[in-house]
Structure 1
Amino acid sequence: MSVKPTRTTVISVATATTLLVAGAAAATIGTSYRHVTIEVDGVSRDVSGFFTTAGDALNTAGVSVGAHDLVAPAADQTVSNGDTVVVRTATPYDVTVDGSQTVAWSTASTASGILSALPAQTSSMAADRSFVRAEMPLGEGGETVHVVADGTTTDVVASADEGTSAILEKAGVTASPIDRVTLENSGGETTVRVARVVRGKSSTTTEIPFETEEREDPEAEEGTEKVVQEGVAGSEVTESYQETIDGNVTVTAVLATTRTEPTTHIVSKGTKEKKKAEEPKETPASSSDSSSSDSSSSGSSSGGSAAVSGDDAAIWAAIAQCESGGNPSTNTGNGYYGMYQFSLPTWQSVGGTGLPSDASAEEQTMRARMLQQRAGWGQWGCAYKLGLV
């Protein structure tokens, strides 16, 4: 069985070889035909020829050596017949040394061997979790490994040739293919750290308020309103991609934005002046009624008092019937309220409080009388229809 030597083993082989050839004469070495063994990463082959140094032997065998590769004996050292030249190919690894990312070349055969050789108090690298080949062993065996995942630390003892997957299984930890698993070395202690990665799409909706537009309608009477178009709020939907590591957002990218425009709320307001009722035509009074007619005419000349000098309650009932159908609680939403269709400013000007439509019929009639006495019958459109103006 072939055993791959560690770095220490390789160095030992180089030292032994040097001692073996130290006593040979230079002239003899230069002219001797040699048979040596070339071992590259555990694979051996024999090579023969007239060569002096280990580098010559490697050239004869067609073996290229990189700047970071380990060669024992060294390329410029002489070799003797029957010697073995060992080559360990260095591999680059992305590592973090004391918080700084760099590339480390190593011939170590274990992950902990790579990190422990770095000149740093704390170093780390991505753990080997290959699904297509054998994983790099975590250590030589017997080391205690701290496994940190989901806020819990579990200690396990690593066996020889066990990789990251085996260590996680021992600790009872499952890591998905996108979870970040790192191997850390701090103060000579080895830690396998699992950071949970969550990726997915999220959607947020922002409401866009609608605007209100007022339009004048010359065909509708002044003081009237009508909703021409109901307002509808719009929206803006944003779809984003997001990545979190252990709950911390690391990546956010907007994928698409969809906007729905709001619908304007349109209200028409009447601007047409209210028509005045035509003056009622006077009918000739009979001779038998001349005295009462004269009396009535006399009353009319005093500012309209003749119109209410008869059945006052009946006249107010007629106005209420014409204005609101006689309903004291009328509230049509056009800014006028109650039996006599008071506007709020007018109602308040005669001492009213609250809404006119909330007051009793008696209070509404009382304040209507106050308004008539102060401003006349012209305050009511129905007064024209009833011939009071």
Structure 2
Amino acid sequence: MTSETHESRPTTAETRAVTRTRRTRRRRAVLAASTAGALVLGAGSAVAVSNAYKTVTLDIDGETRDVGTFAGDVEGLLAEEGIDVTDRDVVAPATASALNSGSDVVVRTAKQLDIQVDGEDHSTWVAAADAQEALNLLSQRGSDVALVASRSAERAEIPLELHQGEQVAVVHDGETDVVDGSEEVDDVLEAADVEIDGDDLVSVTDAATAGVKAEDLPDGTEVPQVAAVVERVEVEQVTKVKTIERDVKVKQSDDRYEDLDPKVKKKGRDGSRTVVREITTIDGEEVSNEKITSMVTTEPRTRVLVEGTKERPEPEPEPEPATSSSSSSSSSSGSSGSSGTTYSGSNRSIGQQMAAARGWTGSQWTCLESLWTKESNWSHTVANPSSGAYGIPQSLPGSKMASHGSDWQTNPATQIAWGLDYIAGRYGTPCGAWSHSQANNWY
């Protein structure tokens, strides 16, 4: 806040402003009778008129009284009355001015005020009887002038009455009340039954600047010159939690076939950040929004995927068709499943036909194709030397497939029929079996 002071001697505008202040004058008749102690003019002698007894009107910060004095000038009068003035105070007329009976002497004690002029804050000394007079003096500085009340707990303080002997407007909470202004601002607010808390702003300005209009007041009420304005300030801390997305890291492995979907090694998780902001509103309008704290409350964890680089071996060639009636036919001549239906084509093609007969097409066929590619690469003669699993579905042991035909060792259709029944009974669908295989490396 900028600090400013008035000149030690009043300007012409200031002197005129304070001498125009309305005040009550109490006149007393000047004593004229001679007394034993009275001053007498002798023959050939002269007594200066300025040293004669006289009555003057003394206005100290709006408190007016008539004073009898023998002082010859304003400075002498102030000394008689025990009134000390500083270079910041305003005295009119000047202290060296001669006094005459009926003279008016005005003293305005300077007070330091916080003010706002056209939106900028200042601290300055003003010699005025009340806030209305101070606003008049300060009006030459800008078009929008207000006295800003200092705050102490739930009190608002400006070291001036608002408008002596006049009414003032109190603007608050969308309402306007009119009360006596011959008090300081805190008492005026109390008279208007307005309570404030430690955050609220209180200022004093002219009623026009505060937007006070006749239609805002009860019928017959004149618009006051001065207004005390209460602005409701709310300060709220708002907490928000923001997501920190997890990173994804892909590792390559030559132990996994490249045509398989990436395997999840670590699920990972998203993290979180907690942000606290302080939001300030004045009469419901946001004026500031500041970040107070921002901290990571949950650290994110990286998701790790394993991507295969291993190439699948070429499928084994299909066996040549047998010449005897007991042997299985080749892919070109067709294979019969346990239902007696004949299928033609490669083992993979036979599997697709038999799966489609069950309604397993689209994604279900894709899952089945991936599952048995992983298990046997669709070879009906492949055997696992360590476990003994055999054939296209890698039945363990292979002899289980005899339930679907004695040719289980040589007929791909028999193996496929057994494998499809096994999947349906244990997992419901090929995708159920494929999901289990991906998670456990067996089905």
What is the TM-score with the length of structure 1 in the denominator? 0.57
Residue 149 in structure 1 maps to residue 168 in structure 2: no
Structure 2 residue aligned with 1:185, among 194, 206, 211? 206
Aligned residues: 313
| Paired position in structure 2 for 1:220 | 256
- Code of the residue aligned with 2:307 in structure 1: it is K
1:98-177 equivalences under 5 Å are: 105-119=125-139, 123-127=145-149, 131=155, 136-143=160-167, 145-150=168-173, 152-158=174-180, 160=182, 162-177=183-198
Which has more helix, going by share of residues? 1
Structure 1 counterpart of 2:109, from 89, 97, 104: 89
Distance 1:336 1:213, change over 3 A: farther
State the shift of 1:313 in Å: 1.6
TM-aligned CA deviation for residue 69 of structure 1: 1.0
Cα gap change, 1:215 to 1:336, in 2 (>3 Å): farther
Which residue number in structure 1 is paired with residue 336 of structure 2?
A: 312
Report how far residue 267 of structure 1 moved.
Answer: 1.5
TM norm structure 2: 0.51
Distance 1:207 1:181 in 2: 42
Q: Which residue of 1 aligns with 2:378?
A: 380
Match of 2:14 in 1: none
Letter of the structure 1 residue corresponding to residue 300 of structure 2: P
| Pairing of 1:304-383 with structure 2 (within 5 A) | 306=330, 312-314=336-338, 336-338=366-368, 380-382=378-380
Cα distance change, pair 306–68 in 1 and its aligned pair in 2 (3 A): closer
Q: C-alpha offsets along residues 79-129 of structure 1, whole Å, 9 cap, x if unaligned?
A: 79xx99875421132334566655664333322232244445653212476
Structure-2 change in CA distance of 1:296 and 1:64 (3 Å): farther
Which 10-residue stretch deviates more, 178-187 or 271-280? 271-280
| Post-superposition CA distance 1:204-230 (Å, at most 9, x none) | 333222232222222234434421011
Q: Does 1:266 align with 2:304?
A: yes
Report the CA distance shift for 1:219/1:330 in structure 2 as closer, same or farther (over 3 A). farther
Partners in 1 of 2:156 and 2:312 — Cα distance? Answer: 91
Equivalent residue in structure 1 for 2:268, among 214, 222, 231: 231
Contact 1:115 1:123 in 2 (8 A): yes
Give the SS at the match of 1:252. Answer: strand
For 2:84 and 2:164, locate their aligned partners in 1 and report how far apart those are by CA, in whole Å.
29
Match of 2:278 among 234, 241, 249: 241
Equivalent position to 1:71, from 91, 94, 100: 91
Deviation track 1:282-335 (CA, whole Å, cap 9, x = no partner) reads xxxxxxxxxx97x359xx9xxx9547758522597xx79xx99x986889x999
* Deviation at residue 232 of structure 1 after TM alignment: 1.4
1:53 and 1:138, CA in 2 relative to 1: closer, same or farther beyond 3 A?
closer
> Kindly tell me: are residues 230 and 275 of structure 1, through their superposed partners in 2, closer, same or farther at Cα, counting changes over 3 Å?
same
- Quick one: which amino acid aligns to residue 198 of structure 1? E
Asked if the contact 1:276/1:384 (under 8 Å) is kept, the reply is no
Q: Distance in 2 between matches of 1:264 and 1:129?
A: 53
Question: 1:173 aligns to what SS in structure 2?
Answer: coil
SS at match of 1:167: helix
Question: CA 1:96/1:221 → structure 2, altered by over 3 Å: closer, same or farther?
Answer: closer
How many Å separate the matches in 1 of 2:73 and 2:272?
A: 79
Q: For residues 52-73 of structure 1, what are the alpha-carbon distances to aligned partners after superposition, in whole Å with 9 as ceiling and x for unaligned?
A: 7555787999986433312355
Q: 1:215·1:266 contact (CA, 8 Å) conserved in 2?
A: yes
Q: Partner of 1:223: helix, strand, or coil? A: coil
% identical equivalent positions:
26
Distance 1:191 1:84 in 2: 30
Q: For the aligned residues, what is the CA RMSD?
A: 5.8
AA of the residue aligned to 2:205:
E
Aligned counterpart for 2:243 among listed residues 192, 197, 207: 207
Q: 1:93 to 1:244 in 2, by over 3 A?
A: same
Find the counterpart in structure 1 of residue 404 from structure 2: none
